[in-house]
A = this chain, B = another copy of it.
Amino acid sequence: MATIKDVAKRAGVSPSTASRAMHDSPLISEETKDKVRQAMKELDYSPNFAAQNLANQTSNTIGVILPAREEAVGDNPFFIQIIQGLASICNAHDQLVSVASGQTTEELIKNIETMIKRGNITRFVFVYSQANDPVLEFIKQHSKIHYVVIGSPYTDKETTCYVDNDNFKAGYDATKFLLAKGATRIVYAHTDLSEKVQNARYKGYLAALSEVNITESPLCLSTERDDEIKNSKALGQMLSKTGGKVGVVACDDILAIEIQHLCDICEIEQSELALLGFNNSLLAKTAQPALTSVEIFPRFLGSEAAALAINTKGNDKLKLETDHIVVPHKIVERASTKI
């Protein structure tokens, strides 16, 4: 029976590259994928028998930790795609994916404790990253537990294994995209700049603007319906400034949709704006006009995190081949940026 190493050898790539190519990761070029597919075919390789190639495990299960607050999960369509990516890679490597959930932080920690004690689970993936997370603190107390974070860690970044998008680069690319569309003023709209993702996208936006010597104040809005009047006023003021085609980089699709609504309220023609969001969620597709948005490939965030977790070697502390993986992004162009 051929192993993943055999496939990698025949294709002339590393085993991790072979694994990524098999799962159609955007990190791998089409050329390399073709080589790997060819090698798989020649060796009659079936990914489901790859288990023997993995390092020895203390358990054949990867624990996946969802955030405790249920609203946080319910409103985020990415978690399921992340879990799909995780499950797809884990299943293919004979690993089970076990989900830890709880309505409160205490319940979640209790459940994780049970998974560790009764399930002998030693490897976990956090599908989120938040500041001052008691769940992460709990996991850190266990010296034999390995964990991978999806998102940018708030603490111990140097020693933490994580998978993330390059949100700085995403903000930069989004801004450059609107400049290329002919926008002469570009505003960054956000809800909270202390939030890591929004902040990184903002920094990238600033970097792109500084290259063309444009300055602009960020526009702070809220997504609460009750703040509609305050929001409209802020948007109106921003747009009333003289001159030029205006581009808006919104920190995510939800805020971009809110800006579309505010335009309707203020009777601002949407064709006067070039509006762009992030995450390429269902909201972007159903928006009117359909919203240009930055795809962040949540499924691949999940599959890369799974690969990191699976490749953790036994009980040795984080002997990983790579400890930080960046999943690329892609601007999906729709009607909202046609100015």
Which chain A residues have a beta carbon within 8 Å of chain B's beta carbons? 48, 60-61, 64, 66, 70, 73-77, 79-81, 83-84, 86-88, 91-92, 94, 96-103, 107, 110-111, 114-115, 118-119, 225, 254, 257-258, 260-261, 264, 282-283, 286, 288, 290, 299
Copy number of this protein in the oligomer? 2
B48 touches A114 (CB 8 A): yes
A73 touches B66 (CB 8 A): no
Interface centre among A80, A86, A88 (most CB of B within 10 A): A80
Q: A66-B80, A225-B290 are in contact. List 12 more A-B contacts (CB 8 A).
A: A48-B111, A60-B119, A61-B98, A70-B81, A79-B80, A88-B101, A91-B101, A91-B107, A92-B111, A97-B99, A98-B99, A264-B288
Contacts of A254 in B (CB 8 A): 282, 286
Nearest-neighbour CB distance to chain B for A117, whole angstroms, equals 10
A299 touches B80 (CB 8 A): no
A100 touches B94 (CB 8 A): no
Give 19 pairs: A residue, B residue, CB < 8 Å, sorted on A: A66-B80, A66-B84, A74-B81, A74-B299, A77-B282, A80-B80, A86-B99, A87-B100, A87-B111, A88-B102, A88-B107, A91-B107, A91-B115, A92-B107, A94-B114, A97-B101, A254-B282, A258-B286, A283-B286
Q: Which of B70, B75, B111 contacts A299 (CB 8 A)?
A: B70
Contacts of A60 in B (CB 8 A): 118-119
Contacts of A110 in B (CB 8 A): 48, 91
Contacts of A61 in B (CB 8 A): 96, 98
Nearest-neighbour CB distance to chain B for A66, whole angstroms, equals 6
Complex Cα spacing A102 to B103, Å: 28
B118 touches A94 (CB 8 A): yes
Nearest-neighbour CB distance to chain B for A97, whole angstroms, equals 5
B111 touches A100 (CB 8 A): no
B91 touches A81 (CB 8 A): no
CB-CB under 8 A for A115 and B96, given A83-B83, A87-B66, A288-B261: yes
Contacts of A48 in B (CB 8 A): 110-111, 114
A75 touches B115 (CB 8 A): no
Complex Cα spacing A60 to B59, Å: 14
